[in-house]
Amino acid sequence: MATLWNKGTSASEAVEKFTVGADRELDLRLAKFDVIGSKAHIRMLESIGLLEKQELEALLKELDSILSDIEQGKFRLEEGVEDIHSQVELLLTGKLGDIGKKIHSGRSRNDQVMLDLKLYLRDYLLQLKGRVLKLFSRLQTLSEEYRDVLLPGYTHAQIAMPSSFGLWFGAYAEALVDNMYMLGAVYRVVNRNPLGSSAGYGNSFPLDREMTTRLLEFDSPVYNSITAQMGRGQTERCVASGIGAVALTLNKLASDCCMYMCPNFGFISFPDSLTTGSSIMPHKKNPDVWEIMRGECNMILSCESRIDMMCSNMAHGYHRDYQLLKEVLFPELERMDECLDMAVYMLENIKVNTHILKDDKYKYMFTVEEVNRRTLDGTPFREAYKQVGIEVNEGRFNYAGKDISELKVSDLGHTHIGSIGNLCTKQVKELMDKASEWK
């Protein structure tokens, strides 16, 4: 295998295969960002006298050509080329000769890899933000559409108190606000420039790291060169934590949907085309999409722990183990995208049962309402609680003498913020607008 760092000896084929692993394939995701980072780097090199103006122009022209090939899907790693960084440099050298060999001045593959990863992850986070906002919008729309439809609330998996579809959908929308705050914090970790830290100890060239920071639109450099390299592993871990927060929200939503689709509940349903059947039971409509999503989200949640296990007990500085982080993180980024897209698609086709309370078993979810009603009428709370408890035990409880099957949220006295009668949809949207301001 051709390596730019070759010093005249060659590793055995077995060693090369073992150490390179899946890196070549995974590196293709970084190609665009390797070129973008290289363009900023050579502009800086020209500014400090390590490149002539005409050399810079020639390099930029060829890098733009490579970038065009990448965007058109024409770019490939040639057989025997170790990684994306080597491929780009070899292409430049092939076109420009010695000028192409100057592009690596003042940097190491260490800070080049870190830069590519940060640019890639920054771009990913911005796209992820859009996906989360799309799901948030759908949940808020459903929350408002079904704000007056009552739904049993549960504690300990037992029928508890009145909830509503508005409250249920709205709960997941607001949970995404917290997830967005988390992603914003991750973005700030990612959006700092490691370029110029070289192999972790700086460089004797008079590099202008502030210039590359501006050109690449980072918030700041990672000032300390050792810290910049310690960011390897830490950055991936933070991203894994961020997507894990979203995955945990989706995991719970998927679990709810699996349960609510069950005929024993029958709260929601989906078109037959979005469910699966049984090989022997003709009546089955299985929630396979939500079950797979629940499992996929568990896979995403495990990513942070796997990164922790890989990165602990290593002294500062680069170690080849870090290469394996891409194999751990990159598939989970794809998994996260797929889960969010599928969640939106499913919720665009959800059907809500607006007649749940026709089942008499749900009458006891109004016991607290009855206790509160009597308390407001002047009965001491503990006495009202006792009265209602006796009526339940004797099988004669009936909430205010009403037919519960006709009740709506507006028939109950819930007015405080965040209750079924006051969903605060607008306020939650304002929170999300603020939480998603990062870029």
**Structure-derived torsion over alpha carbons of residues 402, 403, 406, 412, reported in degrees to the nearest 10:** 30
pLDDT confidence of residue 431: 98
Task: Identify the CA nearest to 381 among candidates 368, 369, 372.
Answer: 372
Provide the pLDDT for residue 70.
Answer: 93
Residue with tokens 């900023």: 40
Beta bridge partners of 192: 220
Q: What is the mean pLDDT of residues 17-21?
A: 58
Write out the two tokens for 385.
Answer: 């609680």
Q: What confidence score (pLDDT) does residue 247 get?
A: 98
- Report pLDDT for 217: 97
Query: Domain 13-104, what fold?
Result: Fumarase C; Chain B, domain 1 (1.10.275)
Mind listing the pLDDT tens digit for each residue in 35-60? 999 999 999 999 999 999 999 999 99
Tell me, what's the pLDDT at 276?
A: 79
23 neighbors 326 (Cβ within 8 angstroms): yes
Neighbour-count burial for 47-59, b at 16+ CB within 10 Å, e otherwise: eeebbeeebbebb
Please give the pLDDT value at position 84. Answer: 85
Average pLDDT of the segment spanning 182-208: 95
CA distance 152 to 159: 6
Digit-coded pLDDT (tens) for 342-371: 999 999 999 999 999 998 889 999 999 999
The model's confidence at residue 241, banded by pLDDT at 50, 70 and 90, is very high
Other Cβ atoms closer than 10 A to 213? 20
Band (316; pLDDT cuts 50, 70, 90):
confident
Residue pair 64/56 in contact by the 8 Å Cβ criterion: no
Q: What is the mean pLDDT of residues 160-172?
A: 96
Write a three-state SS string for the chain.
CECCCCCCCCCCHHHHHHHHCCHHHHHHHHHHHHHHHHHHHHHHHHHCCCCCHHHHHHHHHHHHHHHHHHHCCCCCCCCCECCHHHHHHHHHHHHHCHHHHHHHCCCCHHHHHHHHHHHHHHHHHHHHHHHHHHHHHHHHHHHHHCCCCEEEEEECCEEEEEEEHHHHHHHHHHHHHHHHHHHHHHHHHHCEECCCCCCCCCCCCCCCHHHHHHHCCCCEECCCHHHHHHHHHHHHHHHHHHHHHHHHHHHHHHHHHHHHHCCCCCCEECCHHHCECCCCCCCCCECHHHHHHHHHHHHHHHHHHHHHHHHCCCCCCCCHHHHHHHHHHHHHHHHHHHHHHHHHHHHCCCEECCCHHHCHHHHHHHHHHHHHHHHHCCCCHHHHHHHHHHHHHCCCCCHHHCCHHHCCHHHCCCCCCCECCECCHHHHHHHHHHHCCCC
> What's the whole-model pTM score?
0.91
Distance in angstroms (rounded) separating the CA atoms of residues 398 and 391: 8
* Residue range 109-125+179-353 in CATH 1.20.200.10: yes
340: CB partners within 8 A, 6+ apart: 128, 131, 132, 134, 135, 246, 250
> Mean pLDDT throughout 228-232?
87
Work out the mean pLDDT of the chain and round it to a whole number.
91
Phi and psi at residue 206, to the nearest 5°:
-80, 65
The mean pLDDT value for 164-173 works out to: 98
- To which residue do tokens 């099957």 refer? 405
- For position 7, what pLDDT does the model report? 53
Residue 21 pLDDT: 58
For position 330, what pLDDT does the model report?
Answer: 95
Higher pLDDT, 300 or 282: 300
Identify the bridge partners of residue 414 per DSSP, sorted by sequence position: none
Confidence of residue 10 (pLDDT cuts 50, 70, 90): low
Under a CB-based contact definition with an 8 Å cutoff, are residues 128 and 336 in contact?
Answer: yes
Query: Which residues have a Cβ under 8 Å from the Cβ of 13 and sit 6 or more positions away?
Result: none
Distance of alpha carbon 50 from alpha carbon 138, whole angstroms: 53
Work out the widest C-alpha separation in the chain, in whole angstroms.
94
Phi then psi for residue 163, to 5 deg, are: -120, -170
All structural domains of the chain with their residue ranges: 13-104, 109-125+179-353
**pLDDT at residue 418 is higher than 70:** yes
Say yes or no to pLDDT of 308 above 80: yes
Percent of the chain with pLDDT over 90: 76
Residue 271 token pair: 């078109």
Q: Which of the four pLDDT bands, split at 50, 70 and 90, describes residue 85?
A: confident
- What is the pLDDT confidence band of residue 28, given thresholds at 50, 70 and 90? confident
Q: For residue 12, what pLDDT is reported? A: 65
